[in-house]
Amino acid sequence: MTERRSIIVTGAGSGIGKATAETFLAAGWNVGLIGRRADRLHPIAEPHGAAALALPCDVTDEAAVDDAFDRATARWGRIDVLFNNAGRNLAPATPDMVSPADFRAMIDVNVTGLFLCARAAFARMRSQSPQGGRIINNGSISAHVPRPGTIAYTAAKHAVTGITRSLSLDGRRFGIACGQIDIGNAATQMTARMASGVMQADGSVRQEPLMDVLAVAETVMHMATLPEGANVQFITVMATEMPFIGRG
């Protein structure tokens, strides 16, 4: 019998994180679900018994992150994959209308929180036997090209790309691979507004197509199940007709 592999998914209470956690559970993985709201995590975890572990946690809290990773390691003995997915957004605004407090809060979740979870995963992957694992970071198309009025989100996602590259380099000696999935217009609560119209680079407001969120979850599964010695460094999965290629 093949030993069950384990993954921790952050931002697992809704959207992309929830869909990914459920996809891995259906495939027979052990899944640790990190999110701020326990009431969203427990209904996902409870039907799966010991294979699922709800880990209520604020990813910006270093002690809470370490405790969550310790609990998952104690349950399953190792962590094979981290899907670093937790994040937040702001309402579109020109730079002069973005408060410094909101900018800092965006960086705190989307950059510092991602770093703290990667740090916790890296430490455990480095020390476990056999050594190694995978870290998959949720980037964004905004890691390449900004939307109007998204200076904080765009800055954060460009930083995620730098973290991905650094993790890939520093992880080589320890068998820790790191890749990034850049997502465009997956149908979630966060992107619902795109169906009614969002601002384009020319100042117009237009509807944009969305794709099924399961396309993202299945792509994460592909990245997570590559054979040892192979890695998807960067991948973009997007609604086919969304205005990314040729944006602006």
Measured distance CA(92)–CA(67) in Å, rounded: 35
In the set 153, 178, 237, 238, the catalytic residue is: 153
CA 76 to chain centre: 21
DSSP string, the chain: -PPPPEEEEESTTSHHHHHHHHHHHHTT-EEEEEES-HHHHHHHHGGGGGGEEEEE--TT-HHHHHHHHHHHHHHHS---EEEE----------GGGS-HHHHHHHHIIIIIIHHHHHHHHHHHHHHSSS--EEEEEE--GGGTSPPTT-HHHHHHHHHHHHHHHHHHHHHGGGTEEEEEEEEE-B-SGGGGGGGT-EE-TTS-EE----B-THHHHHHHHHHHTSPTT----EEEEE-TTSS-TT--
Beta carbons of 167 and 125 less than 8 angstroms apart: no
Measured distance CA(18)–CA(10) in Å, rounded: 9
Active site residue 153: yes
Beta bridge partners of 14: none
Q: Which residues are catalytic?
A: 153
